[in-house]
Amino acid sequence: MNVLVLNCGSSSVRFQVIETDLERIAQDRDRCLARGYIERIGSLALVTLEATGRPKRIETYPLRDHRAALDQVLRWIVASDSGIDGIGALSDIQAVGHRVVHGGERFTRSVKIDAAVLDGIEDTIELAPLHNPANLKGILAARELLGPAVPQVAVFDTAFHATMPETAYLYALPYSLYRRHRLRRYGFHGTSHRYVSYRYRKLRKLTREKVNLITLHLGNGCSACAIKGGDSMNTSMGLTPLEGLVMGTRAGDIDAAIIPYLHQKEGLSVDEIDTLLNKESGLLGLSGLTNDMRELLDEEREKGDRRARLAVDIFCARARKYVGAYLAELGGADALAFAGGIGENSPAVRERITRGLEWMGLTLDPRRNAAMVGGKEGEISKAGSRLKAYVIPTNEELLIARDTVRTVLGAPAPARKARARAAK
């Protein structure tokens, strides 16, 4: 089955075409046939397209909205000169899998999209006003352009975390706020944490119930996840992706009293404070230079920049704090797994996060750590480490394609016991 995987942002669309079916899933033989990225939708859009094994094409088109962007993508996919294996017409795309950011308490697993699901996604717009509307636009555009007969599946960023216990997902706020607004921790990056957890169990030949792991997804957005018995027990992002680790431009954890303080001292409005915390903080805010970890590491190394060093140190210290907290919460774990652009490519950051954890049984192997970059997967701890460390490149698109196939064929992945309850 050829699955079109769509990840629609407010002004961007990322896509992949993945060939997969139940047999390929069992044998790990899924194939990415093509991928691409459209940015600056709404003006002169930049379109990057790549059929596997062919050179990348970068073009510009005026694209008004998500429908126009998807139309452009589909035209390219079926064009004879794109060279995509096995695809010559729209009918060669048999299903569409969508990344949907927020599933609220309602969606605890991937679902086939029908009118009720569309309503449900619309209901969660309040919780993800920046993301869910774009995801909905993508779904409607795909239905219009491919026709209602092509099945579409929604895969939610929040779903993997539905197994968190109340002690992890409730804030210590008046309980009535949870009742009235479902104000709670949802967590994000769930598809990534789930994929990393799945690859870890394959690497170590474990059953899902035997997976006791802390995953660190460190990209532009960053989050940690505590996994026990294969289930998410806690995660660092909260009601929104703002909470938790230091990120490229997000502050992560702060004293909430800083918000009224900023309002009084700097005269900032609620919206301005929201922008400050989400777009002007984190690595960018601390360094005053950039949100890009690679550039910060270069500045630190080449120029000895004090604030670049400080930003990286605070980033690593926060991640280490979460590792410690989650080890205590889980009653221990067998391994840490690093993923995301930083986690997959920076031996220096991995070393700084795990520095001083030898007493806990974790010792990195410097040679293995240095070699594990650029998409390589494997162990980076010394042989015999009681707490092991792995680098596991994430692949959310693959998991979305697989969930799409399983859902369409009525063979979904085994259900996890969602712990969210409908509070009275």
272 binds ligand ADP (CB under 6 A): no
Q: Are strands 57-62 and 95-100 parallel, antiparallel or unpaired?
A: unpaired
Among 221, 241, 244, 285, binds ligand ADP (CB under 6 A): 221
User: What single string gives the DSSP state of each residue in 27-82?
Assistant: HT--EEEEEEEEE-BTBEEEEEEEETTS--EEEEEE--SHHHHHHHHHHHHH-GGG
* Binding region for ligand ADP (CB under 6 A) out of 74-82, 104-112, 286-294, 375-383: 286-294
Among residues 196, 116, 124, 154, which one has the least CA distance to residue 8?
A: 154
Whole-number minimum distance, CB 362 to ligand ADP, in Å? 21
Cα distances (angstroms) measured from residue 142 to each of 5, 22, 50, 67, 93: 11, 24, 20, 8, 11
101 binds ligand ADP (CB under 6 A): no
Task: Report which residue's Cβ sits closest to ligand ADP.
Answer: 341
Angle CA 100–184–162, to nearest 5: 55
Our CB check for ligand ADP shows the closer of 46 and 297 to be 297
346 binds ligand ADP (CB under 6 A): yes
CA distance 43 to 385: 53
Among 150, 297, 413, 418, binds ligand ADP (CB under 6 A): 297
Cα distances (angstroms) measured from residue 309 to each of 71, 216, 300: 45, 21, 6
* Binding region for ligand ADP (CB under 6 A) out of 21-29, 103-111, 123-131, 334-342: 334-342
Our CB check for ligand ADP shows the closer of 120 and 248 to be 248
345 binds ligand ADP (CB under 6 A): yes
71 labelled catalytic: no
Alpha-helix runs per DSSP H in 156-291: 166-169, 175-181, 190-203, 258-266, 270-279, 282-287
Cα distances (angstroms) measured from residue 156 to each of 23, 87, 111, 130, 293: 24, 27, 9, 15, 27
CB 295 within 8 A of CB 289: yes
Our CB check for ligand ADP shows the closer of 11 and 220 to be 220
Number of residues that bind ligand ADP (CB under 6 A): 13
219 binds ligand ADP (CB under 6 A): yes
Among 136, 341, 353, 363, binds ligand ADP (CB under 6 A): 341
Among 39, 292, 334, 351, binds ligand ADP (CB under 6 A): 292
The number of residues making up the chain comes to: 424
Whole-number minimum distance, CB 419 to ligand ADP, in Å? 27
Whole-number minimum distance, CB 117 to ligand ADP, in Å? 26
Q: Kindly provide the b/e burial profile for residues 54-90, where b requires at least 16 CB atoms within 10 angstroms of the residue's own CB.
A: eeeeeeeeebeebbbbbebbbebbeeeebebeebeee
227 binds ligand ADP (CB under 6 A): no
285 binds ligand ADP (CB under 6 A): no
Sign of CA pseudo-dihedral 375, 378, 381, 382: negative
Run of H or E including 213: strand 213-218
Whole-number minimum distance, CB 290 to ligand ADP, in Å? 8
94 binds ligand ADP (CB under 6 A): no
Among residues 291, 133, 299, which one has the least CA distance to residue 222?
A: 291
Q: Which of 21, 92, 157, 298 is catalytic?
A: 157
Sign of CA pseudo-dihedral 325, 221, 3, 98: positive
* Binding region for ligand ADP (CB under 6 A) out of 105-113, 204-212, 309-317, 342-350: 342-350
Our CB check for ligand ADP shows the closer of 37 and 171 to be 37
Among 11, 220, 275, 278, binds ligand ADP (CB under 6 A): 220
9 binds ligand ADP (CB under 6 A): no
Q: Which of residues 234-253 bind ligand ADP (CB under 6 A)?
A: 248
340 binds ligand ADP (CB under 6 A): yes
CA distance 175 to 182: 10
* Binding region for ligand ADP (CB under 6 A) out of 87-95, 324-332, 341-349, 376-384: 341-349
Interface ranges with ligand ADP (CB under 6 A): 219-221, 248, 292-294, 297, 340-342, 345-346
Q: Which residues are known to be catalytic?
A: 157
